[in-house]
A and B are shown apart, each in its own frame.
Chain A
Amino acid sequence: MTKSDKSFEHMMDIWQEGQDAFMKAQKEVAESFQNTITPLFDQTSESANASYKAWQEFIKTWAPDWDASAMTDGPSAAMFTQGRDAFMTMLDPSNWTKYAPEQLREILQSVAQGPQFADLATPHIDAANTWREALDYQNAAADLSKILLESWTRTYQRFNKTHSLEDLQSGDVQDALDVWLKSANHELLETQRSAEFMDAQKRMLRASVEIKARQRDMAEAWSEAYQIPTRTEVDDLTKIVHELRRELRQVKRELSSTKAKSKK
């Protein structure tokens, strides 16, 4: 698996964790909803069973060979399974971000850049940002790969120009390897100095650092939840210590300078 695949897989894990956390947050609501709704089902279950039996009897009068269990075992059941799978597929961004990524990015961007509310939709904005970043990384990695792939194609063309079929047929594999490496070196260096490569490289760097920054945010949220000092807090302390030491050195310097002057 390539590095970009791993990064993206990792992003999917993070996304999944985000979903889980969201669902967990809804648990209380779901439980109270369940507590409210369950007694109603209990009250109605007896009459519902009676109704179902009556319905089965009614059907049998018209279709004596019909088996009600076929509804849950037959092709229609597969439809339910497929439906579930399709739903799960829909939830997995790796399956749909490749389609119309620009439009998707715009949608995510509009969600992320929309007005912020104090008590509403923060998880959605975070999720939109996370998806947008994942999408940017995916696109940046694909663009860079494409440029490098084209470079290898040109390497092959260059090799073909400088190393003929007759050269190959001579059996001199060492010479073929040397020419191939020389061609590849030439093409890769040319590619690496092109504006197209540098822009793709820049977008790739930006996208990968944004993902790293998102990971850091998530780690900080986790640390806060478990009363563990966050990276930001440690950095703040480090900065304070650094500045104090710098001030102390300055004071020491001034003191020794004053002493030296007074000696004179």
Chain B
Amino acid sequence: MMPIRRNSDGEPLDEAEAALQAWSLAWSQMIEIGAKAIKSNSFLVETKQTDVEIATTPFETVLQIDKVRVLHYQPLTQKKANIPPVLICYGLFGRQTMIDLQEDRSLVRNLLNEGIDVYVVDWGNPTRADQYLTFDDYIDLYLGSCVEHVVEVNGGKPITLFGICEGGTFAAALAALRPELFTGLALAITPIDFHGEQDEFWRGEGFLNSWIGNLDKDDVDLLIDTYGMLPGAMTGAVFSSLTPIASMTKYNVGLAAMNGNEPAMLNFLRMEKWIADRPDHPGEAGRQWLNELYRENRLANGVFKVLGETVDLSKIQCPVLNIYAEQDHIIPVSCSKALGKFVEPKLYEEIGFPGGHVGVFVSRKAQGVVAGGITNWLKRTQAQKTKS
């Protein structure tokens, strides 16, 4: 039941007064939203593309194989952590620049500030000339060679590999195939069991799994055969449709809500810049990703092969940190947590981040929870290794 509206003297309002009050409230709110939208719009008008910088932490390229590079980040502090180098490997659906989005939201900087030696894999910009690259190439040749390089720089001693999203799947597979190269494996928002616990999905979770699972093998084959690649524009559109209202309102309601606030606007624009830079995914590797992993779940079923060798995740021998996002709309929690079934409990740790897929790296909260958690885990598990 509606509460009786009263005037400033506490007397009940008659109909005309109530209508006038409602009219006044509606107009004041609309003017307020409009004013905020104008402020945000003015900021956009004054901002140039060069004002929105991402991935500014200095690095040098220390290895290049075809289009794939290994970037070595320059130290930001005099202190040196007593742990092996960390090689970070992002997936092929987005750019690694996400882990160095801005100074105060940068996994790379957080690790460097702890005195950790950081290397990052940059997959480059695949074109149709790269359409026949498979997971054999990405896991064994490219990632394997990148790891070998950092191991060599580390005096032949094993290193820590940190895989993110699809890069995490690559990392887990390589750690199972060549355990001698690793002293630690960290994963974030990584699918392992591509079917997950579908009965436990919350509304909005697991769309990718359901949608791809609903396709026939022929649909995937026709898509790859026709386009040669998984076009970045297409995967970007799919990701946007996973959060329909957020995608529909970010350029109107969302922008107005920012009220022209410079840090918020710049943060938003940096994310937009990162999203817009979505590479095409090489076709054959995309076919494997969709058919062999998403549809057939070969990795969790123990029948996924790299260069003819079956990937047995139970062969991972090093300490493992698995970070998942509790509100991840792309990689369901159960898909990530499945790794725990394969790794020895004494080697396995998890961090559940209370946020979404990308929030694991770019949200303010993540700088403490995730970056702090990783640093803590590295110091606890990797320092011990070095001493021993």
Q: Which residues of A contact B (CB under 8 A)?
A: 164, 166, 169-174, 177, 181, 184-186, 188-190, 192-193, 198-199, 201-202, 205-206, 209-210, 212-213, 216, 231, 234-235, 238-239, 242-243, 246, 249
- Asked if residues A201 and B211 are in contact (CB atoms below 8 Å), the reply is yes
Which residues in A have their C-beta under 8 angstroms from that of B301? none
> Is residue B342 within 8 Å, beta carbon to beta carbon, of the partner chain?
no
Closest residue of chain B to A180 (Cβ to Cβ) is: B245
Closest residue of chain A to B222 (Cβ to Cβ) is: A209
- Max count, chain B CB within 10 A of own CB: residue among A172, A193, A201, A243: A193
New A-B contacts (20) at CB < 8 Å, excluding given A169-B19, A173-B29, A212-B227: A170-B22, A172-B25, A172-B29, A173-B25, A174-B29, A181-B253, A185-B245, A190-B203, A192-B241, A193-B207, A201-B211, A202-B219, A205-B223, A206-B219, A209-B222, A209-B226, A231-B228, A238-B131, A242-B133, A243-B132
A188 CA to B223 CA, complexed, in Å = 26
Closest residue of chain B to A237 (Cβ to Cβ) is: B129
Which residues in B have their C-beta under 8 angstroms from that of A234? 128
Report 15 cross-chain contacts, Cβ distance below 8 Å, ordered by A residue: A169-B18, A173-B29, A181-B249, A185-B244, A185-B245, A186-B203, A190-B203, A198-B210, A205-B219, A205-B223, A209-B222, A213-B225, A231-B228, A234-B128, A238-B131
Tell which of B18, B26, B203, B214 touches A199, judged by Cβ atoms closer than 8 Å: B214
Quote the shortest CB–CB distance from A155 to chain B (angstroms).
10
A209 CA to B211 CA, complexed, in Å = 16
> Is residue B233 within 8 Å, beta carbon to beta carbon, of the partner chain?
no
Which residues in B have their C-beta under 8 angstroms from that of A164? 2
Tell which of B21, B33, B249 touches A171, judged by Cβ atoms closer than 8 Å: B21
Closest residue of chain A to B23 (Cβ to Cβ) is: A171
Which residues in A have their C-beta under 8 angstroms from that of B225? 213
- Asked if residues A205 and B227 are in contact (CB atoms below 8 Å), the reply is no
> Is residue B24 within 8 Å, beta carbon to beta carbon, of the partner chain?
yes
Known: A171-B21, A171-B24, A173-B29. A202 touches B226 (CB 8 A): no
> Is residue B276 within 8 Å, beta carbon to beta carbon, of the partner chain?
no
Which residues in B have their C-beta under 8 angstroms from that of A246? 137
Quote the shortest CB–CB distance from B12 to chain A (angstroms).
15
- Asked if residues A238 and B210 are in contact (CB atoms below 8 Å), the reply is no
Quote the shortest CB–CB distance from A173 to chain B (angstroms).
5
Which residues in A have their C-beta under 8 angstroms from that of B26? 171-173
A165 CA to B3 CA, complexed, in Å = 13
- Asked if residues B2 and A166 are in contact (CB atoms below 8 Å), the reply is yes
A242 CA to B128 CA, complexed, in Å = 12
Q: Which residues of B contact A (CB under 8 A)?
A: 2, 18-19, 21-26, 29-30, 33, 128-129, 131-133, 137, 141, 203-204, 207, 210-211, 214-216, 219, 222-223, 225-228, 241, 244-245, 249, 253
- Asked if residues B141 and A249 are in contact (CB atoms below 8 Å), the reply is yes
Quote the shortest CB–CB distance from A153 to chain B (angstroms).
16
Quote the shortest CB–CB distance from A232 to chain B (angstroms).
10
Which residues in B have their C-beta under 8 angstroms from that of A193? 203, 207, 210
Q: Shortest 8 CB-CB distances between A and B: which pairs?
A: A171-B22, A171-B25, A171-B26, A185-B245, A242-B132, A166-B2, A198-B214, A188-B244
Which residues in A have their C-beta under 8 angstroms from that of B22? 169-171
Closest residue of chain B to A182 (Cβ to Cβ) is: B245
Closest residue of chain B to A192 (Cβ to Cβ) is: B207
Quote the shortest CB–CB distance from B97 to chain A (angstroms).
27
A192 CA to B2 CA, complexed, in Å = 35
A34 CA to B179 CA, complexed, in Å = 81
Known: A171-B23, A190-B203. A181 touches B141 (CB 8 A): no
Which residues in A have their C-beta under 8 angstroms from that of B23? 171
- Asked if residues B244 and A189 are in contact (CB atoms below 8 Å), the reply is yes
Which residues in B have their C-beta under 8 angstroms from that of A210? 222
A172 CA to B18 CA, complexed, in Å = 12
A193 CA to B88 CA, complexed, in Å = 34
Quote the shortest CB–CB distance from A182 to chain B (angstroms).
8
Which residues in B have their C-beta under 8 angstroms from that of A184? 244-245
Quote the shortest CB–CB distance from A78 to chain B (angstroms).
48
Known: A171-B25, A181-B253. A206 touches B211 (CB 8 A): no
A189 CA to B247 CA, complexed, in Å = 13
Quote the shortest CB–CB distance from A18 to chain B (angstroms).
19
A243 CA to B241 CA, complexed, in Å = 37
- Asked if residues B133 and A202 are in contact (CB atoms below 8 Å), the reply is no
- Asked if residues A206 and B222 are in contact (CB atoms below 8 Å), the reply is yes
- Asked if residues A188 and B222 are in contact (CB atoms below 8 Å), the reply is no
Which residues in A have their C-beta under 8 angstroms from that of B203? 186, 189-190, 193
Quote the shortest CB–CB distance from B237 to chain A (angstroms).
11
A112 CA to B18 CA, complexed, in Å = 69
- Asked if residues B131 and A192 are in contact (CB atoms below 8 Å), the reply is no
A206 CA to B2 CA, complexed, in Å = 51
A184 CA to B246 CA, complexed, in Å = 11
Closest residue of chain B to A177 (Cβ to Cβ) is: B253
Which residues in A have their C-beta under 8 angstroms from that of B245? 181, 184-185, 188
A193 CA to B203 CA, complexed, in Å = 8
Quote the shortest CB–CB distance from B176 to chain A (angstroms).
20
Closest residue of chain B to A234 (Cβ to Cβ) is: B128
Closest residue of chain B to A245 (Cβ to Cβ) is: B66
- Asked if residues B215 and A205 are in contact (CB atoms below 8 Å), the reply is yes
A197 CA to B100 CA, complexed, in Å = 37
- Asked if residues B214 and A216 are in contact (CB atoms below 8 Å), the reply is no
A192 CA to B222 CA, complexed, in Å = 23
Which residues in B have their C-beta under 8 angstroms from that of A238? 128-129, 131-132
- Max count, chain B CB within 10 A of own CB: residue among A206, A231, A243: A206
Closest residue of chain A to B18 (Cβ to Cβ) is: A169
A228 CA to B14 CA, complexed, in Å = 80
